[in-house]
Amino acid sequence: MAHFADILLPLAQPTYTYAVPDDMTLVVGQAVAVQFGMRGYYTGIVWRLHDEKPDFDRIKRVHHIVFERPLVTPLQQRFWEWISEYYICTLGEVMRVALPRMMKSSGHSEEEFFQSEYRPKTETCYRLSDELRDEDRLNEVFEKLARRAPRQYEALLEIAAPDAEGRNEAGELARRLLSADGSILHTLRRKGYVTSVERERSFEQGRICFRLPTLTPHQADALEHLRADFRAGKHTALLHGVTGSGKTEIYIHLIAEVLQGGGDVLLLVPEIALTAQLIERMERIFGSRVLAYHSKISPQRRTETYLRLNRSEGGEFVVGARSALFLPLKRLQLTIVDEEHDSGYKQTDTAPRYNARDCAVMTAHLFDGHTLLGSATPSLETWLNARSGKYGYAALTERYGEGRLPRIILSDTLRAARRGERKSHFNKTLLDKIGERLERHEQVMLFQNRRGFSPYVTCTDCGWTARCPECNVTLTYHKAGEKLVCHYCGYTTPVPAHCPACQVADLTAMGFGTEKIAGEVVKLFPEARVARLDRDTVTSERAYNTIIDDFAARRIDILIGTQMITKGFDFDGVSLVGILNADNLLHNPDFRASERAFQLMMQVAGRAGRRSDGGEVVIQTSEPANPVLRQVVEGDYEAMARQQLSEREAFFYPPYARLTRLTLRHKDPDLLRRAVCELASRLRARFGRRVLGPMAPPVDRIRGEFLVELLLKIEHGASSVRARELLCGEIDALHSKSEFKSVTLVADVDPQ
């Protein structure tokens, strides 16, 4: 029996060695309570058991076992280890995202720990008492009750019914499955006819016969392609299908196959706003088999889901956001990543800064399962892998049914202005078309990019603009309340009456967001019903659903929105989509700007075409000759991909290189500069010209701390493991200097 256990704690720390008390038998993967430092008690995972006595004296003992059954399987251990190595973070940070909050109880004292420990919700279950197991006696009681107490009779009949659905292994029925009143059940129990017990709440797995949609010949063909690729030994495949072509229908067929064979399926979605509709659609086919898992699900339910899967024998189907990757699906055979190109799959703000899409590809290897990536506009990384034959590939080029792809028109803003055909932010072309659609009682969507186009205030005379004193960014102007707000730290201040710099002139609002556009639309089309969908109007899931429902029910004529309107529901009534300014999409200071602009515009355009007449999309731009815009007009993904890939190759960017971004942070700019120069020269000694920087990020001051970045570009083919070792060695060397201990360093592998 092992005498020592390496315990993993949910802290930014490695594992710690504890002694195993003589009367305790531990199993790897189990959750235990341990005391850590002065900070109290934590839940940890038994990572390794051994007999190597550590060379410090006062070794603490494992306090108690929290869950008997191991919570983390050996495969999950390997997955966590891979994430911690690849994304340069500690195992403890992986544990933090991997386990639901309620499974990581902690406390300053034993008592506090015990208070916060997870307790399963229980429910009362009923069965016939032992006395009534005798058939003659049962019939006797039935006869008596049928005459004298019909309600008791009915309740007893329900509990005794041999074919009752949802009976557990002990032959009991949960209270919630019975229709009888509490008082009736109480009487039956008092009379000794039934027995009740408290059991941990469980949820049934549900039926296994599914009614699947019939596929069109094209869809059936694509499905067959994917199956053949998987059979041929490919772990990952790309399903490249235009919006509305029936990718989801193909997912459904693949999911059913795996579930019927007793395997587990994971379906990942990039955003919570999108999960609700997809879950509904999946429930129509798979019923209660569908398990939702994302941050809007209650902590109790998330923990129940984790524990239930931990005990499961397979046949589980989870639909969730990126953290669902960490669920203990022990027979995971299929992972589907919907909208695989979406940057929402990347966790950016806290470690582990993982990309769920890439992790899903990794788990396919680890579990010897399959991963399907679906998109209308795949990421160039995925596209290259599919083209080179590393991934399987199937395409759907047509919309299902009557749906036609919309006609896309470019409208030149400069020419319109020269001809006097521009009113505020609208070209005459777009205004005329909106008017036409309104007359025909059709709906219109207008898209305004959020990023970089928040309104701000500036002095008409000296050019002063309002900036955040803590973060080096322009403050955003909010018309409601006449406020200036920092979108990084939340700093808020009223709009000054006069320019604080020159004290003379007035300030005017510049730039425009959805709010401004909506104001203009209301003036231009006073009879139209107008609504906005953006971060300001969508303050809750309910607010979002209300707007979407109103639009679907045609209580809104014109919907103006940001990125939020690009995804999700399809509205039959929409026949015109306007993109107000494509220029700022194309000119983001980001090597992925063109790819992103293409993806976004195709997605916006996709909102217009669920109709047999196809609908129209008007894109306003000052550069109608821009090749990306031409590719959008043609709907030519391949042309875009070819051109962008050749640029990426020439400038040595992903997918031809792997990037790691290092961000250093400190309050003292001089100390920060010394630290980054030292790190840069250390890294240059190792990596030579693969190191870029130091440079200031777009926002170089946040909450009073200064930021500076280094970028490491490693060519494909070079050992990424070796590169990581060297990098980590140099980071450690920097931090080991007492001078630089207080400098915060964040590594972001494969930044988005």
List residues near ligand ADP by CB under 6 A: 213-216, 219, 241, 243-249, 400
For residues 269 and 547, which CB has a smaller minimum distance to ligand ADP in the complex? 269
The region of 126-134, 252-260, 311-319, 452-460 touching Zn ion under the rule CB under 5 A is 452-460
Identify whether the C-beta of residue 371 lies closer than 8 Å to the C-beta of residue 335. Answer: yes
Whole-number minimum distance, CB 292 to ligand ADP, in Å? 19
**Binding flag, residue 269, Zn ion (CB under 5 A):** no
What residues are paired with 661 via a beta bridge? 711, 748
Whole-number minimum distance, CB 339 to ligand ADP, in Å? 9
Identify whether the C-beta of residue 325 lies closer than 8 Å to the C-beta of residue 363. Answer: yes
- Phi-psi sector, 368: left (phi>0), alpha (psi -120 to 50), beta: left
- Residue 662 CB contacts under 8 Å (≥ 6 apart), including other chains: 679, 709, 710, 711, 712, 731, 745, 746, 747, 748
**Binding flag, residue 467, Zn ion (CB under 5 A):** no
**∠ at Cα 550 (547, 555), nearest 5°?**
135
196 binds, among Zn ion, ligand ADP, none (CB under 5 to 8 A by kind): none
462 binds, among ligand ADP, Zn ion, none (CB under 5 to 8 A by kind): Zn ion
Whole-number minimum distance, CB 442 to ligand ADP, in Å? 20
248 binds, among Zn ion, ligand ADP, none (CB under 5 to 8 A by kind): ligand ADP
Q: Which residue has the tokens 């949609």?
A: 213
For residues 486 and 521, which CB has a smaller minimum distance to Zn ion in the complex? 486
3-state DSSP assignment of residue 649: helix
**Binding flag, residue 471, Zn ion (CB under 5 A):** yes
**Two tokens at 258?**
């795996």
For residues 339 and 442, which CB has a smaller minimum distance to ligand ADP in the complex? 339
Q: What Cα–Cα distance (Å) separates residue 379 from each residue in 163, 376, 644?
A: 51, 10, 11
- Phi-psi sector, 488: left (phi>0), alpha (psi -120 to 50), beta: alpha
**Binding flag, residue 464, Zn ion (CB under 5 A):** yes
**Binding flag, residue 501, Zn ion (CB under 5 A):** yes
Q: What Cα–Cα distance (Å) separates residue 672 from each residue in 77, 349, 684, 706?
A: 37, 21, 18, 8
Of 174, 222, 446, 486, the one binding Zn ion (CB under 5 A) is: 486
488 binds, among Zn ion, ligand ADP, none (CB under 5 to 8 A by kind): Zn ion
216 binds, among Zn ion, ligand ADP, none (CB under 5 to 8 A by kind): ligand ADP
Whole-number minimum distance, CB 340 to ligand ADP, in Å? 12
Whole-number minimum distance, CB 206 to ligand ADP, in Å? 22
Of 161, 502, 553, 721, the one binding Zn ion (CB under 5 A) is: 502
Q: Report the distance separating Cα 324 and Cα 99, nearest Å.
A: 10
Identify whether the C-beta of residue 247 lies closer than 8 Å to the C-beta of residue 396. Answer: yes
Q: Report the distance separating Cα 49 and Cα 43, nearest Å.
A: 17
Whole-number minimum distance, CB 451 to ligand ADP, in Å? 25
Whole-number minimum distance, CB 490 to Zn ion, in Å? 7
Whole-number minimum distance, CB 708 to Zn ion, in Å? 18
Number of H helices, E strands in the chain: 22, 34
Q: What Cα–Cα distance (Å) separates residue 541 from each residue in 301, 322, 536, 545?
A: 19, 19, 13, 6
The region of 84-92, 257-265, 470-478, 689-697 touching Zn ion under the rule CB under 5 A is 470-478
Of 488, 591, 653, 687, the one binding Zn ion (CB under 5 A) is: 488
Of 154, 470, 520, 678, the one binding Zn ion (CB under 5 A) is: 470
Size of the site for Zn ion (CB under 5 A): 15
538 binds, among ligand ADP, Zn ion, none (CB under 5 to 8 A by kind): none
Residue 19 neighbours by CB distance under 10 Å: 15
Residue 170 buriedness (CB in 10 A; 0-12 / 13-18 / 19+): exposed
For residues 248 and 588, which CB has a smaller minimum distance to ligand ADP in the complex? 248
Q: Report the distance separating Cα 479 and Cα 117, nearest Å.
A: 47
Whole-number minimum distance, CB 545 to Zn ion, in Å? 31
The region of 200-208, 252-260, 491-499, 541-549 touching Zn ion under the rule CB under 5 A is 491-499
Whole-number minimum distance, CB 239 to ligand ADP, in Å? 9
Residue 399 main-chain phi, psi, to 5 deg: -75, 155
Residues that bind Zn ion (CB under 5 A): 459, 461-462, 464, 468, 470-471, 486, 488-489, 491, 499, 501-502, 505
